[in-house]
Chain A
Amino acid sequence: MSDEDPEGKKILVIQTHGVDTPRRTYSPLFYAMAAAAMEMEVLVWFTMDGTNQLAKGAAEKVKLDPTSDVTLKTMLEQALDADVRLRVCQQSMALFGMTKDDLIDGVEILGATSIIDLALQADHVMYF
């Protein structure tokens, strides 16, 4: 484990996968929550197929462990509780026919080029 002090560092997580590849949905949020627990500023950017997991009614249908009561919805809620910021690409939403009324609570819509600023501001970027 690194000796670098994580407190205050900015982590950007880019999630390009959604409910069609459910096995790729939990881990980015888990890592985001771990970083938040270590007092880093964490933002998860949902783009491409990542957008569809933020539609109302979608995340609760993703349950990777049948023996657990945890779903993707649980993971998203826990991330928000941990002060992980969730942002979604406006253009990706439009491309896939989603409007703001389709989104779950707690997610902010940003224009696509916001990713440039977010990447420049982050200390580290993680891509999924």
Chain B
Amino acid sequence: MGPHPEVRGCVLLLDLHYHVVDHTWVRVDDDGTVTVGMTDVAQNLAGPLLHAKPKKVGAVRARGKPLATVESSKWVGPVKSPVSGEIVAVNGKLAEDATIVNRSPYKQGWIVRLKPSNLDEELAQLVTGEAAVAAYRERIESEDIKACEHVEGFEA
């Protein structure tokens, strides 16, 4: 067991805010922007990513709208925004090697950075800390989501 809580081997970071249904996380940055990515559960469900294509810088996204399209050999779908805002940065590493999301879903594999437009209200609708672990445990167990497998070099 590592330094972070795990549910069926799926790592969760206590200081992030989660949209459990859409499998996304939000980190509130010091400069007022937020960073968004896919959770360890999401990367495990998708399998090794072949492509991850974010929307462009400048795109204004309402909560729930896609920030990116990701595809693996067995699945393709949107990364839905957990909060509303304008995309101010996209992760350039995704175009080089989308598996960075599988290898480092919470750090190097971030998807976009947003300037949020309604952060306080929307953050309150996400879960964080132990509440996030409990919410994810409930989902993982009720849907019998398979245990997370991590590629070599995985970092939480």
Contacts and interface: CB of A to CB of B under 8 A. Distances in A.
Nearest to B78: A37
Contacts of A34: 69, 71, 76
Contacts of B70: 37
A38 B74 contact: no
B65 A1 contact: no
A34 B66 CA distance: 12
Interface in A24-43: 30, 33-34, 37-39
A68 B45 CA distance: 12
B23 interface: no
A65 interface: yes
Contact of A68 (B65, B66, B74, B76): B74
Instruction: Tell me the dominant secondary structure on chain A's binding face.
Output: loop
B71 A78 contact: no
B74 A37 contact: no
Contacts of B76: 30, 33-34, 37
Nearest to B146: A69
B69 A70 contact: no
A82 B77 contact: yes
A83 B107 CA distance: 31
A1 B75 contact: no
Contacts of B77: 33, 37, 78, 82
Interface string A36-61: 01110000000000000000000000
B74 A70 contact: yes
Nearest to A33: B76
A65 B74 contact: yes
A34 B71 CA distance: 8
25 contacts: A1-B53, A30-B76, A33-B76, A33-B77, A34-B69, A34-B71, A34-B76, A37-B66, A37-B69, A37-B70, A37-B76, A37-B77, A37-B78, A38-B66, A38-B69, A38-B78, A39-B65, A39-B66, A39-B78, A65-B74, A68-B74, A70-B74, A78-B75, A78-B77, A82-B77
